[in-house]
Amino acid sequence: YSDLVSTTHEKIQEMASEFNLPLRASCTLTKGLHIQLRIIRNSGFSVKDLPAVFIQVSRTKNLITCTTEELVVLNHRMRQMLLEIQILSNVVLYQLLQKLRAHIGCLYRLCEDIAELDLLVALAQVSSADRFVPPTFGDKMDIKLSRHPILDFISPFTPVANDVFASAEK
């Protein structure tokens, strides 16, 4: 594909020097790769002044777009190449998805773990302020005057503090 694009640009440059015209390559979705020729206003240049080799000629204010038989063939080959590239890409992506499906559970678990870690980091940052006490981990959980740290920031009033106790003993 790259070789075809290079060949097309070379052909346009050859025509520019052969006909002594300021031709340049352009590409649009509808026309594909084609030739553009900028015209200086009041230069007296018209579409009729173009050599007969140029086909599909159209003119706007100061721009003439056209192509040649050879460029039409090259453009068709490039579109075919792009279609083949898309087909090959789809095959590769399909095979990749088939291999990933076997591990999709791991990817979901990874996402859950990252989200949980993000929550713990956020809570650790909030609790690092002076008015919070860092937790100690052990056989029981004993929390005095606990408040949800996010409610401290978003609530318009002071949340009610609660005591929480949990242990394996009955």
Please, what is the average pLDDT of the chain?
Answer: 88
Structure-block tokens of residue 158: 């002071």
β-strand partners of 9: none
SS (H, E, C) 71-101: HHHHHHHHHHHHHHHHHHHHHHHHHHHHHHH
Residue 20: alpha-carbon gap to chain centroid: 41
| Helix axes of 69-101 and 2-19: crossing angle, nearest 10 degrees | 160
pLDDT range class, residue 170, cuts 50, 70, 90 = low
Answer whether residue 42 is part of any domain. yes
Average pLDDT, stretch 143-154? 82
Distance CA 164, CA 145 (A): 8
Whether this prediction's pTM lies above 0.75 is answered by: no
pLDDT at residue number 144: 86
> Tens digit of pLDDT for each residue in 17-38?
998 889 999 988 888 889 999 8
User: How many structural domains compose the chain?
Assistant: 1
Answer whether residue 58 is part of any domain. yes
pLDDT at residue number 136: 74
99 pLDDT above the threshold of 90: yes
Top-confidence residue, 46 or 107: 107
Distance CA 86, CA 104 (A): 25
> What is the CATH classification number for the domain harbouring 11?
1.10.1420.10
Answer whether residue 125 is part of any domain. no
Range of the domain at 36: 2-90
Distance CA 58, CA 69 (A): 16
Distance CA 162, CA 133 (A): 15
Answer whether residue 71 is part of any domain. yes
Average pLDDT, stretch 110-114? 96
